[in-house]
Amino acid sequence: MELPSSPDAIDPHNADVKDLKRRRPPESFDILDVTDVLWTLTNRCNLRCIYCHAIPHARTLEPEPTGTQIDHVLQQLRLLPALQSLIVSGGEALISPHVERVLQQAEAIAPVCYVITNGTVLGQRQKQLLRAYHPRTMVSVDSIDETENTTTRGPGVLQKSLDSIKWLLDSGIYTIVIIVLTRSNCDGIQNTIESLYETGVRNILVQQLHCTTAAMGDSFIELSPLHGAIRNLFTLIDGWRRERPDLVIDDSEICFFLRRERDRLLKCDPRQDYLPQRLFMCGAGFNFLALKANGDVIPCNAFLDCVAGNVHQQDIRAILCDSPQFRGLRNLRTHRVDEIPGCRDCPDNPVCDGGCRADVYNLTGEIGNPHPHCPRLARRPDVCGFDERAMDLRDAGATNL
């Protein structure tokens, strides 16, 4: 079976197409694979979060996209026939003069549209747009404790964000709260989630801090939570899922390695030998891609410097299918996780792909190094190759190989 060449002639959710995908080589790519796009609509932001790439206080050295350029990006996105979600981000997406134009056309591009906001700029215009188009709205709040939230997001922010969350819930808009877990807010994470639940929030994304832009190098090491704190959160989330089945918490990033331990116990027969997992099973560059405000195409916002092309200069399909950058990343799937130093004898390697390769590359300069958050590599500087300060990310209670 071959895929028809015309996007109009196919049903990307057809069972035969899905079966074909399963039988393809792991590094292969087809335009039907792309289901999610994150679009940085503007680089401008009214905040100065300590880990973010956005330009603070609405100042930007790069020119903002014009209306004509926005229309061109929208046309390019229509060339992705299997697109399921369009995620509109920033900077602060809701201060972009083009946000209404994007929301108007989003439904014709993907069934689901998300808007990511810090929740501090919901004036009358923004509220009218959210009421009119009802995008799923993601609001960033790092803690309900004023001191903890101020540490990462700045003063005078928390109450505005909480007021916006209440307005969104009262307006019947699907609301998700994003919490970026750092060493600053991990002690109060239980209170934060319980307080949000009492407010009426039922969807929470606990996001991993990524090693990029303002959180590179030493900052990434100093801001990242200790492994013991992540394990405590993992236990708490398990309890909430049992006690509050209506509360949906996405911890797939922050608890990635702990979930691999559990997956092995649930899925692997100890009497059976398994091949190690392939590298780079993340969707970046396969089913997910990101667009910068200037039109650059990247695998995700953690790979900010891995520019595969620009939609104002090339067809997005040609960029996705032919760029050397995307081909190189996809070829990682021809390798297996046991090629990472220290992962060869790990019992979890049948279900673990080694973690975020962007973090590893940005921190160490080598895409094949171990991830600094892996608890099984704690106290193993002989295989990690990281600075000693990175070793401090794991506490003495971590499980050693």
Q: Is residue 385 scored above 80 in pLDDT?
A: no
Contact 184, 145 (CB under 8 A): no
HEC per residue, 180-234: EECCCCHHHHHHHHHHHHHHCCCEEEEEECCCCHHHCHHHHHHHCCCHHHHHHHH
Q: Which of 378, 53, 50 is nearest to 183 (CA)?
A: 50
Residue 69 CB-density burial (10 A; 0-12 exposed, 13-18 middle, 19+ buried): middle
Q: How confident is the model at residue 379 (pLDDT cuts 50, 70, 90)?
A: very low
The predicted structure's pLDDT at residue 120: 97
The predicted structure's pLDDT at residue 25: 87
SS3 label, residue 59: coil
Beta-strand relationship, 175-181 and 136-140: parallel
Higher pLDDT, 84 or 23: 84
Q: Is residue 56 scored above 60 in pLDDT?
A: no
Q: Is residue 323 scored above 60 in pLDDT?
A: yes
Q: Which of 159, 143, 154 is nearest to 45 (CA)?
A: 154
pLDDT in tens, 203-215: 999 999 999 888 8
Beta-strand relationship, 175-181 and 203-208: parallel
Q: Which of 244, 237, 261, 211 is nearest to 367 (CA)?
A: 211
pLDDT in tens, 262-286: 999 999 999 999 999 999 898 999 9
Write down the number of H helices and E strands in the chain. Answer: 15, 10
The predicted structure's pLDDT at residue 21: 52
Q: Which of 25, 32, 24 is nearest to 333 (CA)?
A: 25
Q: Which of 195, 196, 212 is nearest to 49 (CA)?
A: 212
Averaged pLDDT for residues 163-191: 97
Contact 88, 19 (CB under 8 A): no
Rounded to two decimals, the pTM is: 0.88
pLDDT in tens, 292-318: 999 999 999 999 999 999 999 999 999
